[in-house]
Amino acid sequence: MILLDVADETSPRADDSLGARSRGKHSRVGRRGSDSVSASVSDSDSVSDSVSASVSDSVSDSLHAAKSWPCYLCSMLTIHAPEDASREAALESLSRRGEADLARVEPAVREILAAVRAGGDAAVSELAERFEGRRPERIWLGSERIAEGAALAPAEVRRDLQAAADRIRRYHEHQREVGFRYEEDGIALGMRVRPIRAVGVYAPGGKARYPSTVLMTAVPAQVAGVPRVVLATPRPTPELLAAAQIAGVHEVVDAGGAQAIGALAYGTQSVARVEKIVGPGNIYVACAKRLVFGLVDIDSIAGPSEILVVADESADPAVVAADLLSQAEHDEDAYPLLVTTSAAMAEAVNAALVAQLEGLPRRAVAEISLRERGACFLVRDRAEAARLADRLAPEHLALAVERAEELLEGIGAAGAVFLGHQTPEAAGDYAAGPSHVLPTGGATRYASPLGVYDFIVRTSLVRYSREALEAQGDLLERLARLEGLEAHARAVAIRRREP
């Protein structure tokens, strides 16, 4: 157990003083064995789940087994040269980083969900007492209470959050869908688009309290026109409530972990159930979301945060190091990855990491991430860099190269791409515009950033005229009979016979 001593401006409580942060979809879903249920269930993304360093983690083991480059200053990033026999094993291990094993927490999560389903508000309250040592006065906060809490946040904070929200909103307005209608051969066809009616947004508790994550999840829902957005988070701070208010959140549920997911999915006396739950959380939250999937929709199962920087000779190693650190400081399990065509760059970045770690408040977290999860791959040329980036399919991809757009052509899978030397990934975390809630663990191969499209539902529309049905009737009846579905054929035929 490694204890972290981290200054934290936003942490209001002594019992929040441990733990790494998580952002976006960065729930802890790795294969780690040392979490204690009682602590982890209490408050997502906090305490034991994060501070137990993952030295026994199989990904990390395999990365280290693959180390074949001489350490530089006890090498921050393990460097893998193209000719290394072990390189493929390291890449393969990283390619499998997204495989989540939620089974070990599933019994506890099932028990919590069943308790909330049966017991409602009282059960949520009891679970807060059991896991967090508190009995919330009320679980549900309406718009008045949200406004009261938000008013306690400093005016400058509210102004900054508003400025960020405005940018996020403008970006997501480009994602609006309006559906379509057209007519073909007497058949009126269409696709209607409507917002999902009620959405739950989970925001982690503990010290991993990011007002920015509230904006990044709730603003796209607001742009989609969702009439009821419910934020669930334990012990909401004034900053979180300010972000909620600015993002148009309608209700707040003061609950964390699996019990919060249960309250959103099943409803309680004070909380009406929602149709979809999105947002990051620890392994208990991830497991609970998976278990309620089907009753409600969820966004994808998420793992720790990742950045892959591709750097050529034009990059500044200090800037590359700063970007890697901005990801590494999130979480001991974060993946700071570097791909470069230059061995000199690899060494210079490692040196810059050592230098910049000095004096970093979250140094302990960042250093574990760099040493245990970090890796640098030397490549022969840009084409190989693109292939490698594509294979790793990172959440964040920073292209610190010349002609970045051209390089990107060869990379199919990435959540958000930061192009050129002047684009810090951190800008994307706050105010560039796109949501920072992104697929992790290689899921960018098939999943998209959280967006307006996650908060809409589509309906197909069909209207035949009598003439259209007559024209298409024979085809329809033949196809139905080909499949042995006579009643289908007759449902067509009866309309053709009727006067």
Q: Tell me how far, at minimum, the Cβ of 147 lies from its own copies, in Å.
A: 20
Window 36 to 95, contacts with its own copies (CB under 8 A):
none
Q: How many residues bind its own copies (CB under 8 A)?
A: 133
The reply to whether 14 sits near its own copies by the rule CB under 8 A is no
Q: Which residues pair with 300 in a beta bridge?
A: none
Residue 122: how many CB atoms within 10 A of its CB? 14
- Sign of the CA dihedral 165, 170, 173, 175? negative
What whole-number distance in Å separates Cα of residue 138 and Cα of residue 156? Answer: 29
Tell me which residues in 112-151 interact with its own copies (CB under 8 A).
none
Residues within window 274-293 making contact with its own copies, judged by CB under 8 A = 275-276, 290, 293
Calpha distance 321→116 (Å, rounded): 45
- The interface region with its own copies, picked from 84-92, 114-122, 312-320, 337-345 by CB under 8 A, is 312-320
Residue 180 φ/ψ, nearest 5 degrees:
-160, 160
Kindly list the distances between the CA atom of residue 108 and the CA atoms of 19, 281, 285, 377, in Å, as whole numbers in the listed order: 21, 16, 11, 40
3-class DSSP string for 284-309:
HHHHHHHHHECCEEECCCCCCCEEEE
Please report how close the Cβ of residue 97 comes to its own copies at its closest, in angstroms: 11
DSSP code for 52: S
Residue 108 binds its own copies, judged by CB under 8 A: no
Residue 267 interacts with its own copies (CB under 8 A): yes or no: no
Rounded Cα distance between 263 and 136, Å, is 14
Q: How far apart (Å, rounded) are the C-alpha atoms in residues 284 and 112?
A: 10
* Cβ contacts of 188 within 8 Å, gap of 6 or more: 181, 182, 461, 462, 463
Of residues 334 through 373, those in contact with its own copies by CB under 8 A are: 356, 360-362, 366
Question: Which member of 94, 211, 380, 392 binds its own copies (CB under 8 A)?
Answer: 211
Q: Is 396 one of the catalytic residues? A: yes
Active site residue 436: no
Q: Which stretch binds its own copies (CB under 8 A): 82-90, 371-379, 380-388, 490-498?
A: 490-498
Q: Which of 125, 212, 245, 282 binds its own copies (CB under 8 A)?
A: 212
Tell me which residue of 388, 368, 332, 407 sits closest to 81, measured CA to CA: 388
Catalytic residue among 395, 421, 425, 477: 395
* One-letter amino acid of 410: G
Using alpha carbons, list the distances in angstroms from residue 201 to 150, 154, 216.
18, 24, 10
The rounded Cα 337 to chain-centroid distance in angstroms is 18
- Whether residue 284 contacts residue 108, with contact meaning beta carbons closer than 8 Å, is answered with yes
| Binding of its own copies by 313 (CB under 8 A) | no
Residues 389-408 vs its own copies: string with x where CB under 8 A? ---------------x---x
Examine residue 176 and tell whether it contacts its own copies (CB under 8 A): no
> Among residues 191, 382, 384, 387, which is the contact residue for its own copies, using CB under 8 A?
191
Of 130 and 391, nearer to its own copies (C-beta) is 391
Give whichever of 131 and 455 is closer to its own copies, judged by the CB atom. 455
Q: Is 237 in the site for its own copies (CB under 8 A)?
A: no
3 is an interface residue for its own copies by CB under 8 A: no
Whole-angstrom distance between the N-terminal and C-terminal Cα of the chain?
A: 81
The one-letter code for the residue type at 88 is E
Choice between 118 and 475, CB closer to its own copies: 475
Q: What is the dihedral of CA 258, 261, 265, 270, to 10 degrees?
A: 100
Interface with its own copies, residue 423, by CB under 8 A: yes
Q: How far is the CB of 84 from its own copies (least distance, A)?
A: 25
Identified binder of its own copies from the candidate list 12, 170, 183, 272, rule CB under 8 A: 170
State yes or no: residue 413 binds its own copies (CB under 8 A).
Answer: yes
Instruction: Catalytic residue, from 396, 421, 436, 477: name it.
Output: 396
Residue from 13, 31, 138, 174 touching its own copies (CB under 8 A): that is: 174
Rg (CA), the chain: 25
Candidate list 1, 3, 7, 85; residue touching its own copies; CB under 8 A: 7
Q: Does 329 bind its own copies (CB under 8 A)?
A: yes
Asked whether position 478 contacts its own copies by CB under 8 A, the answer is yes
Q: Does 488 bind its own copies (CB under 8 A)?
A: yes
Report the alpha-carbon distance of residue 359 to residue 444 in Å, rounded: 34
Residue with smaller CB distance to its own copies, 120 or 428:
428
**82 close to 378: Cβ distance less than 8 angstroms:** yes
Q: 147 burial class (0-12, 13-18, 19+ CB within 10 angstroms)? A: middle
Task: Tell whether residue 414 is a contact of its own copies (CB under 8 A).
Answer: yes
Q: Which stretch binds its own copies (CB under 8 A): 52-60, 83-91, 376-384, 459-467?
A: 459-467
Identify which range of 46-54, 87-95, 133-141, 154-162 contacts its own copies by CB under 8 A.
Answer: 154-162
Active site residue ranges: 395-396
